[in-house]
Structure 1
């Protein structure tokens, strides 16, 4: 796939995936179109050599794999979740002439960019039907239904000097001036738009606000891609396209886990059992399982901090990634990243073989270093692991920025591992 087609499909994937639930659904449909067979964790698996499969958990995490004779897998790991603001269970407040929603920040998001944006709502809703069966459905309102207005500078003379945001009181989106608004009726209307009339009772929901602005090219020569949720749908897309285009006789696996932004500790997160459970069912003989673990490599793909041209002092001068200069190899002496000299060398060797650039990133020694699913998975499974990422600006903002060259470059490197 050439870079232009790759990026055009990337933009569509980003727009169609406002939540981890939608991203996982979209990936599952793409996998089915590529010939992958869907598995159910609740049923007995009867895997056949030469086939390819995928399995989902919690509607928000997915694992796909080929199943050839060769057990030396290239595994690409990413995460489906992004920082956002989530709706509280009883969200409605009516005061001061408006109806507003109570929300809770998810992950380490930049709050200031959420002001004055056209916001919509998406996620999963659970309800009871007339047969007393609990059903789960994804909704996406799409229409801009809310906004978080800034306080005018006339009322905050320090706004351009210092601006802190109170997570409880300052970020409630306003929806309407109509005091007759009822949340349950709003949800029922969204279900009716999906053709669902049989709703006996509404139960729980997991809904998030998102910016309705579409992903787009930015720059004089379309140098950049601007979008919400680049961290980490960008890596999800790269891993997904890689496994969909690898030959069936090549051992490759792709895992996209939920909840990385809040520590990965859940049934569908990287600290949970999803990947290990899947691998053990693929190879239920312990000797086969251990041969696969020790013969495979995990490429943990998450975004990397590109050097900010207005704040260059935030980076180590010799390890400052540039946008459109290639994939970033992440290194940390204290094992916040799982890369070591052996896995780094393997990645460099493949990148050189396919003529794709790469860079190395080390956090300034006087600054804290984030972590990824890499060390978590390496610790749990004992698999050789490498942490890489695509250089990004404005990470964890409502709209992030990456290069239009880098994702396609990583895609070619990952395919190179199967040659």
Structure 2
């Protein structure tokens, strides 16, 4: 099969057997999407699948040998899986790094507010999103609350078909003269993103009645919201798109389409000479900050623990290991959308359905905030993909000076690793519901598996 082909789609290049494998993979991916709805739920599902495949917590090991399967759970919101290679860890690792957080709305610390007899949730949006896209959708509330006595309560409202949902109003067009005159970015402000919570009360005020419902169902007092992480996401599960069912619509493709490929790859790849590492990080959408983001020490700490179990406790060994390692930064890329063609430079734009996308650089303007992968590593990755019959393409994030964005690539390059962005191209990135092609999602899995198994 021709792996780099700008004339024929991946589906056209696939054999009938490969098309069936792609469909089976897509079913499993959709199940993951509908289960791993938040970063905490993704963490839980990844660990469940890893333990089923024989992975054990790193702290269960006193020494490490080739073929050992270990994982690191970073505060229930990030995960690392590793399969130990025949070579010492210090000789370098094959790392695929993806993220499991997504753009969403977070409830504020004191979220319950009443206006004219209507109770709302006050929210703060998370990540780079277009606020006007979040109105007039059915919404779910998912997360955790810790009560005054330290008891954890898991909350999920809107996911079950019999659950109520939440909803953010927009202005009716009959009264929209002033709104229509505003810039699109100003028509809906952040403080207007307030989901409807309730209206019924036998008292003068409605808020106490809503708080009483929360107390009866979950045992939550208003003060408990101060120690909670509650997220608003679309109450819509994944669906096939198109008469040919060639695409998938879902919340959270960015970056669960790469994360699932990463997970499936490390669970099915043959153990190799190099230690294989699958990183699933939190907080990428807000700059990889916090102690569950890649800017923190948890990933180098994990590598240091691996080295210690192989007899190397000095920091110099950690630095050598990172310099010897190679990374695919598995994050999504923008696919050319003909409806918005003016935002793309067509010659260098990725296309929906043409394979996993290699992005030499992301960043903005003059490559600011970019990793800018070196030609030597790109050459190695091309050879790996071509040898393994992985469909691939090149891409960039729109026209020069049009905008831009970043990934974890530059952070991991700071550790000395060779890194290139390698992710699934998609439409409607960061929207409440996003689109990927099944063939691209499957190509991502093939790419990450081939990379893990390479020498």
Both proteins in one fold, TM over 0.5: yes
Does structure 1 residue 396 correspond to structure 2 residue 430?
yes
Aligned residue pair count: 404
Confirm whether residue 229 of structure 1 aligns to residue 248 of structure 2. Answer: no
Residues 1:317 and 2:317 aligned together: no
- Candidates 136, 145, 170, aligned match of 2:192: 170
For residue 231 of structure 2, give the secondary structure of its aligned residue in structure 1.
strand
1:371 aligns with 2:390: no
The whole-number CA distance in structure 1 between the counterparts of 2:253 and 2:395 is 19
Q: Aligned runs of 1:239-388 on 2, under 5 Å?
A: 239-249=262-272, 251-284=275-308, 285=312, 286=314, 288-332=317-361, 333-334=367-368, 336-362=370-396, 363-379=398-414, 381-388=415-422
Offset of 1:352 from its aligned partner? Answer: 0.9
Q: Does 1:186 align with 2:240?
A: no
For 2:388 and 2:86, the matched residues in 1 are separated by 25
Question: How far apart, CA to CA, are the structure 1 residues paired with 2:277 and 2:145?
Answer: 30
Structure 2 residues without counterparts, runs of 5 or longer: 1-19, 201-205, 362-366
- Residue pair 2:300, 2:318 contacting (<8 A) in 1 also: no
Contact 1:306 1:393 in 2 (8 A): yes
1:407 matches 2:436: no
The answer (yes or no) to whether the contact 2:240–2:246 under 8 Å persists in 1 is: yes
2:199 and 2:389 mapped to 1: Cα distance?
58
Indicate whether 1:46 and 2:62 are aligned.
yes
CA–CA separation in structure 2 for the residues paired with 1:144 and 1:229: 21
Match of 1:283, SS state, is helix
Please name the residue that 2:234 is paired with: 211
Q: How big is the shift at 1:386?
A: 1.1
Structure 1 runs of 4+ with >4 Å offset: 158-162
Paired residue for 2:31? 12
TM-score normalised by length of structure 2? 0.83
| Separation of aligned partners in 2, 1:338 and 1:177 | 53
What is the CA–CA distance in structure 2 between the aligned matches of 1:187 and 1:257, rounded to whole Å? 33
Deviation track 1:287-322 (CA, whole Å, cap 9, x = no partner) reads 654453233211101110111111112111211111
Change over 3 Å in CA distance of 1:159–1:394 after alignment to 2: farther
In the alignment, which residue of structure 2 is the partner of 1:195? none
Q: What TM-score, normalized by structure 1, do the two folds share?
A: 0.90
Q: Is the 8 A contact 1:21 1:138 kept in 2?
A: no
Q: 1:135 Cα deviation (Å)?
A: 4.0
- Across the aligned residues of Structure 1 and Structure 2, the Cα RMSD in angstroms comes to 2.3
SS at match of 1:116: coil
